[in-house]
Amino acid sequence: MKKLYFGALYLCVIPVCFSQEVVWQKDIQSSTQDFLSQITTTPDRQYLITGSSIQTQELQNAGKQNTGYDFHLIKLNQQGEQIWEKYFSGNQHDFLSATAATQDGGQLLAGTSYSGKGLDKKEDSKGGSDMWLIRINEFGDELWQKTMGSAAEEEAKAVIQTTDLGFFVAGNIQNSDKGYGAKDVLVVRLDKNGKELSQLILGGKSNDEVEKMIPTRDGGALLGIYSRSKMSGSKKTENFGEGDFWVIKLSKDGKIEWEKNFGGRDDDHLRTLASSSTGFIIGGESRSDRSGNKTVGLEEGTDLWLISLDEKGEEIWQKSYNFKNRDVLMGMNIIESKGATQGLLIGGYTQSEGRIETGDDEFWMLYLDGNGNEQWRKHVKGESKKKEERLSDIQLQKDGSILLAGTSAEEFGKESWKIVKLGDKQVDQLIEKLDIKIYPNPVSDYAYIEISIDFKEADILLYDMSGRQLQSLKTKNQVTKINTQQLIQGAYLITIKTDTDKTANAKLIKK
C-alpha cells in the first residue's frame, strides 16, 4: 500500500532559521514484524529499500513462499513511486542484512539463511545458519547466488564492491573450531562472478561482531567491529572496557594493514563508518565517561561518540553528542566539496530509559561541520507519527535531498516501513554542483553520465583525445548508463549538447 505526503518541517537554530520540506513520504504497511535494513542509492539515482518480511497471505496461498521471513526488495524512483518489488525465498527464515550497488547498475544482496535447497535457494545448507549471497541486475533479476558456511553458525552483516569489481563480504561466525572465541568476525573475498578467493577470521577470546564495512580508495576495506575481547587470538589491541570500537584496515588482497581500539571503562558500541577527505570517521554509542582513550565526557544515558582518523588510523579529533536517554546511531554521510570535508550528516533514534521525553522513538538528524562541531539537530516526524519509530538508514543524495528509512509501529511486532524524502536548503548549498558528472571515473565496464542542466532531450557524444567521435546517443534522462567495455585504456572526452543550446564537457578515464 502506497501513501505519499507533502508538507513542510521547520527548525529554528539561533542565529540561523531554515526550513526542511517533506518532498514525499512512503509507508509500506505490514501486519508482521518486518525488518528494514538499508537504503541503497542506485547508480541511476533511484532508491532500493531492502530488508526482511513475511509475505502477504495472497502470495502464500499462491505457493510462492514459506511462512518465514524472506529477502524483501522495493525499488523506488526519485518521486517515491514503486518501480518493482521482489522477494527471494527459502523454505525457512532468511534475513537480508546488507546490499552493495554494483558498477553495472545491479546489486549484491548479503544475508543470513536458515534454509536448505528449495524455492529460490539453489544450494543446500552447509549446517546451522549460512551466508546467502544473491547478485541481481537493475531489474531485480537474479544473475547468480552463492551459499557460504560450515557446520558452525554464520551470518552476513556487510558487503562492498571493490575497485577490481570483486567483493568483500563480512559477517560473524559462532562456535567455530577455526575461530578464537564464542563469536568472531568472518571476512570473505570474492571475484565479480562469486568465486571465493580468500577467507579471514578475526577475533579474541570473547565476542567480536562486525557492524559495518566500507570500501577504501586503494581497493581495500575498513571494518568496524564491536569488540568485547581483550588482546588475544588474532586481536593485537587491548580493550579499555566492557565493549570497545575495534577498527581494522584490510588491503585489496584481504590482508590486515593496521588495527586500532577505542573505548572507555564501560560499554562503547561501534555502529557506522564513513570515508572523509582526511581519512575516516567512526561512530557509535558510548556509556563511558572520560577514561581509556576516550577524552570526551558522558552527558546522560548513552551518548553518541564520533572519532576522526587519518589514513593510518591515528586520531585527529573526537566528539560526543546527546539527545537524552539512549541514543542509537544508525547512519552517517560525508559532504565533500573541492576535495575537503565540509560537513557530516548523521541519523538515528532515541530510546527511552525509564521516562519518556519529547523526541524518544522518533527519527533524528544531526548536522556537523567538518571538524565535528554541531550546527543543528532536529527530530523528523513526517506527516504521520506512530507510537514507536526507529531509523534504519539515512542517505544524503547528490542533489542535496535527504532520504530516511526505518520502521514505524503502533505496537511491537507490527512494524511498517517508513521512507521520508526531505529537501534541505542549507545542506543543498554545500553540495558541489557540476553541469556533468561521470561515475565511476576511472571506469572499467559501465559509466553513468549525470546531467544537471535543465533539458528535455540531450545528445551524449564520446570522443577520443584526437577528436574522433566514437559514440553518440540521445537521452531524456538525468542519468544515462554507457558501456565502455570496448574502449581501450586511456582518456576520452564526453560532450553533452542539450535542446536548450547548452554544452558541457568532462573527461572520462578508461582503466
Distance CA 386, CA 444 (A): 46
Rg (CA), the chain: 23
Q: What is the pLDDT along the chain (511 residues), one digit of tens a residue?
A: 333 333 333 333 333 334 568 899 999 988 777 899 999 999 888 999 999 998 865 555 555 556 789 999 999 998 999 999 999 999 999 999 999 999 888 999 999 999 999 999 999 999 999 999 999 999 999 999 999 999 999 999 999 999 889 999 999 999 899 999 999 999 999 999 999 999 999 999 999 999 999 999 999 999 999 999 999 999 999 999 999 999 999 999 999 999 999 999 999 999 999 999 999 999 999 999 999 999 999 998 899 999 999 999 999 999 999 988 889 999 999 998 878 898 999 999 987 665 555 556 788 999 999 999 999 998 887 666 666 889 999 999 877 889 999 998 877 677 889 999 998 777 777 777 778 989 889 998 899 999 988 888 999 999 999 999 999 999 988 899 999 999 999 999 999 999 988 899 999 999 8
467 Cβ neighbours under 8 A, 6+ residues apart = none
Amino acid at 338: K
In the chain, where the domains are located: 21-430, 436-510
Query: Taking the C-alpha atoms of 142, 445, 460 and 78 in order, what is their torsion angle to the nearest 10 degrees?
Result: 40
**Which residues are 153's β-sheet partners?**
174
**Which residues are 86's β-sheet partners?**
73
How many other β-carbons are positioned within 10 Å of the β-carbon of residue 32?
A: 14
Distance CA 415, CA 413 (A): 6
Sheet holding 469-475, edge to edge: 469-475, 458-464, 490-498, 503-510
pLDDT at 14: 30
pLDDT at 6: 32
pLDDT at 31: 75
Report the half-sphere exposure of 503 (CA within 13 A, side-chain side): 5
pLDDT at 326: 86
CATH superfamily, region 21-430? YVTN repeat-like/Quinoprotein amine dehydrogenase (2.130.10.10)
Quick one: 474 exposed, middle or buried, by C-beta within 10 A (0-12, 13-18, 19+)? exposed
pLDDT at 418: 93
Helices (H) and strands (E) in the chain, counts: 2, 36
- Pairing status of strand 244-250 against strand 70-76: unpaired
The CATH number corresponding to 436-510 among 2.60.40.10, 3.20.20.140, 4.10.520.10, 3.30.70.1290 equals 2.60.40.10
SS3 category, 66: coil
